Chains A and B, each alone.
Chain A
Amino acid sequence: MSELPKILSANWGKPNSTKLETYLAAGGYKAAEKALGMEPGKVAQEVLDAGLRGRGGAGFPAGRKWTFMPKDSRPRYLCVNADEGEPGTFKDRDIMRFDPHMLIEGIIIACWAMQANNSYIYIRGEFAEPADILEKALDEAYAKGYLGDKIFGKDFSLKVWVHRGAGAYECGEETALIESLEGKRGQPRIRPPFPPQRGVFNMPTTVNNVETIASVPFILKEGVAAYRKYGTEKSPGTKLFCISGHVNKPGVYELPLGFPLMKLIAEVAGGMKDGMKLKAVIPGGSSTPVLRAEECQNVNLDYESLAAAGSMLGSGAVIVIGEGTCMVKLLEILARFYAHESCGQCTPCREGCGWAAQIAKRIHEGDAEIKDIDVLYSVGEQMLGRTICPLADAAACPIMTFTSKFRAEFEAHIKNRGCPQAKAYPVEFK
Chain B
Amino acid sequence: MGLEFNDSAKKELERIKARYPERQAALLPALYLAQREFGYVSDEAIKYLAQVLELPKSRIYGVASFYTMFNKKPVGKYFIQVCANISCAMMGADGLFDYLSSKLGIKEGETTKDGKYTLCKVECLGACGEAPMMQVNEKYYGPLTREKVDKILSELK
Using a CB–CB cutoff of 8 Å, the interface residues on chain A facing chain B are 84-90, 92-93, 124-129, 161, 163-169, 180-186, 201, 242-246, 250-252, 282, 286, 317, 319, 321-322, 325, 329-330, 333-334, 337, 340-341, 424-425, 427-430
Contacts and interface: CB of A to CB of B under 8 A. Distances in A.
A180 B26 CA distance: 10
A85 B124 contact: yes
Contacts of A334: 86
Contact of A126 (B20, B98, B125, B129): B125
A184 B20 CA distance: 14
A90 B128 contact: yes
Contact of B127 (A93, A330, A333): A93
Given A184-B24, A319-B128, 12 more contacts: A90-B129, A161-B19, A166-B28, A166-B32, A169-B123, A183-B25, A183-B27, A183-B28, A185-B63, A319-B87, A429-B146, A430-B146
Chain A CB within 10 A, most for which of B31, B32, B68, B92: B68
B86 A128 contact: no
Contacts of B22: 182-183, 201
B63 A89 contact: no
Interface stretch (B3-11, B109-117, B134-142): B134-142
16 contacts: A87-B86, A87-B123, A127-B126, A182-B25, A183-B27, A185-B63, A201-B20, A201-B22, A244-B131, A245-B86, A245-B91, A286-B124, A317-B128, A330-B89, A333-B85, A334-B86
A337 B92 contact: no
Contacts of B131: 244-245, 250
Interface in B80-94: 84-87, 89-94
Contacts, number: 157
Contacts of B156: none
Contacts of A427: 90-92
Interface in B56-72: 62-63, 66-70
Interface centre among B84, B87, B146 (most CB of A within 10 A): B87
B21 interface: yes
B29 interface: yes
A265 B19 CA distance: 44
B99 interface: yes
Given A182-B22, A183-B63, A286-B86, A88 B128 contact: yes
B105 interface: no
Contacts of B144: 429
Nearest to B99: A429
B128 A87 contact: yes
B24 to A, nearest CB: 4
B87 A88 contact: yes
A250 B99 contact: no
A84 B123 contact: no
Contacts of B139: 128-129
A242 B86 contact: no
B51 interface: no
Contacts of A165: 28, 67
Contacts of B28: 163-166, 180, 183
A340 B99 contact: no
B95 interface: yes
Given A93-B126, A250-B129, A186 B90 contact: no
A245 B98 CA distance: 20
B89 to A, nearest CB: 6
Nearest to A168: B67
B25 A166 contact: no
Contacts of B140: 129
Contacts of B95: 428-430
Contact of A246 (B84, B90, B146): B90
Instruction: Enumerate the 7 nearest inter-chain pairs by beta-carbon distance, A residue then B residue, closest first.
Output: A429-B95, A429-B92, A183-B27, A166-B67, A167-B68, A167-B69, A183-B24
Contacts of A161: 19
